[in-house]
Structure 1
Amino acid sequence: MDFIREEYFTAEAGINTADVVFIIDESGGIGNNNFQLIQSFVQSLIGSLNVNQTGVRVGIVTYNEAPKAHAYLDSFQDRTEAQQFIKLLPYRGGGSNTGAALRFTLESVFKGRGSREDVQKVAIVVTDSKSQDSVKEAVAELHWFPVRVFAIGVNEKTPDLYDMEGGNRLTLFTAKVTEKSVDAFCEDAPSDVIFLTESSERISAEDFRKMKEFMKSVVTKSIVGLNDMRVGVMQFSTRTKVEFRLNQYFSKDEILEAIDNMKQQNGGVETGRALTEVSQFFSEGGRRSFRVPQILMVITDGAATNPDNLRKNSDALRANNITVFSIGVENANKTELLIMAGNNQSNVFYVDKFDQLETLYKQISGVICSITKHRKYGE
């Protein structure tokens, strides 16, 4: 396969509460460019984990001839901290002693500070080169402790991984980590994303909950942080209500909790008015001056009460370099969805039922990636 989807990895690993250590090869066989790709790849995997001190704890070890512990199992409070830390890892080059790294991780990290009793242990080895020392015995020691080992080869024919696979001691994945795999996760692509979600009286309480679940799925599967994707949420019905601004929360856990706490407003549907008011919302904590992509996701299930100013207000958003995605459900007016998206059909999404909202994530993320993946600060 080209790369590991993070949802497949977590489903296979069954990781909900665990002590997880990433063991990353930084030997000369990797090279600086590939090491940067590995950093982004590991960030994506961390993004799929429930990182906190009561859920998944994360440690970081790198190795060449000698291993080095950069972070222990009590180092990070949430996944954003861990992801930001991964970005700063230095690349050293040198030889590759995978066996020594595995033993070091067992003795110094899994038996070290922050390690918990009666919690499953998981080692994730990311390597590209043949080890200069023995690997099988080290894997056996980890298995006996017990530690479940996942080996991720960044080359489809990475040596040693198949030798390590014996019995049930190791779950083996091969992952050709390339620019393609990094782009698939929208790595290193900051964006300011605001959800403008309808909360009128025509939406049932259950359907409003499903809208919140959709927003949470986008957040969960994205790299969120101060220098990555920032998220804001505004509700609209007869009036608008700011739930939280782009500079209010920078961790997934905080954002997910804030979305969970949203209360439906009821009332009418003043979509045009909401589009006017949300424009100012992008100025509060947004990074437009740094040319960070500005993205608005409008979620609605019917026609606007006063559609006359819909086109004018949508055009004003685009004049401010804000890309509008129209997401319609059930009775949404498809003409109005297209108007809000600037007649760009690729930015219009529609499902027949609220249950189907979460299926849109992959489609929407692909379009967002195409907007953000090559944009850097100041360009």
Structure 2
Amino acid sequence: MTPTVPLFLLLLGLIGAQATLDQRMAAAMAAGLCKTRPTDLVFIIDSSRSVRPSEFEQVKVFLTNVIDGLSVGPNATRVGVVNYASRVKNEVSLKTHRSKAGLVKHVSKIEPLSTGTMTGLAIQFALNVAFSEGEGGRAKSPDVSKVAIIVTDGRPQDNVKEVAQRARDAGIEIFAIGVGRVDMSTLRQMASEPLDDHVDYVESYSVIEKLTKKFQEAFCETVSDLCATGDHDCQQVCISTPGSYKCACKDGFTLMDDGRTCSACSNAAIDTVFVIDGSKSVRPENFELVKKWINQIIDKLDVSDSKTHVGLVQYSSTVRTEFPLGRHNNKKDLKDAVKKMEYMERGTMTGMALRHMVDSVFNIAQGARPGVQKVAIVFTDGRSQDYIGDAAKKAKDLGMKMYAVGVGNALESELKQIASEPIAEHYFYTADFKAMSQIAKKLQINVCNGEEDPCECDTLVKFQKKVETALQALNKKYILYGE
């Protein structure tokens, strides 16, 4: 029996070594000391009719999370996305995006095809087209990895075994992820060896995110701090992040859409979300005034694909996103969408609305842009029926600029909880809905004054000092409180 003891100690040693390796990997990722080796990565995602729209959204969140851990760039990881059902659509080419921000935005806009399940056809398309040099694939080299990640939830209606073998023979490493009632034998036919490392199964799309860490670690190479070594293309400030780095700008400069260069002009991109109280106390005729008030503010915004994006949330006893950020990027479409908003007419769950705004609306997967100033304009006409403190604090801790506008029975204490510092510049109250139009006229969001240089505009979306004077001049029957 004596050999048992050394064997036992050897096993303990192996387990301990693996634990140490895992700890080092986790620490490296947490410290931003991971870099993905040059890789051509193509996601092949099933959007057949068995994949419900909400489930397809969860797949896009999974893709976004994996991408977030990559070093995206022409000389690092290039990412493509192939969408398939009965037909195949090349959603993102390997040559399309040089920055992570643009890539994530594109992924968020992919729509399901909702027909059959031709997985073999999709693999053949990836082999012939998606990985081709014409679409941005790099020439076969030991220095560049070729990886395909297939996500599917059903049994394919065509043959996958032979085409998957051809793809692997061409040097493409295939990971196969199955969901729900997927055919496991098909996954094994597609995946590379060893199968234990290349085949994954999850019970439903709601838990697919748990695979994120696996793929982030699979692509992670422990390296020195990329910012410290200068292995980045940031124009001004480099910040290490898990798996990569991100760029930032010095005070007085704004990060541009390419995610790396900085502009001295502060009239740059803003994501603005209106959070509107649609409770029964507002009343239908006043709700129409609220919609006009929103459109007055939209008239002041520099709305475009590259500048200001606007989202709209209405809440009562429930919360509803009327339209997400980036859906309408011109003033006419925005204002038309606001006019079509239907009045909810129930309770006042302001805290729930703030949580929805933070977790869902200002979410990259839902159209929010990384590195862009986030601004919320919260309107309410009464006391909240739930607690708002935690959600309001979280929003401000995440760097969101919060404005609170109260009418009628709105509580001054709640408005102050919502508003950013300095509070006096970020909340307003009026006793009458008709006075809201006066407030809207004074909102200075990304607007230049007269003939001033546009670069003097205030991109942090604050009420200008002149607003205080203008508001004091309003009719005395409109009681406006400041701090």
TM-score (norm 1): 0.50
Considering Cα pairs closer than 8 Å and 6+ residues apart, tell me whether 1 or 2 has the greater RCO: 1
What TM-score do you get using the length of structure 2 for normalisation? Answer: 0.40
Q: Which has the larger radius of gyration?
A: 2
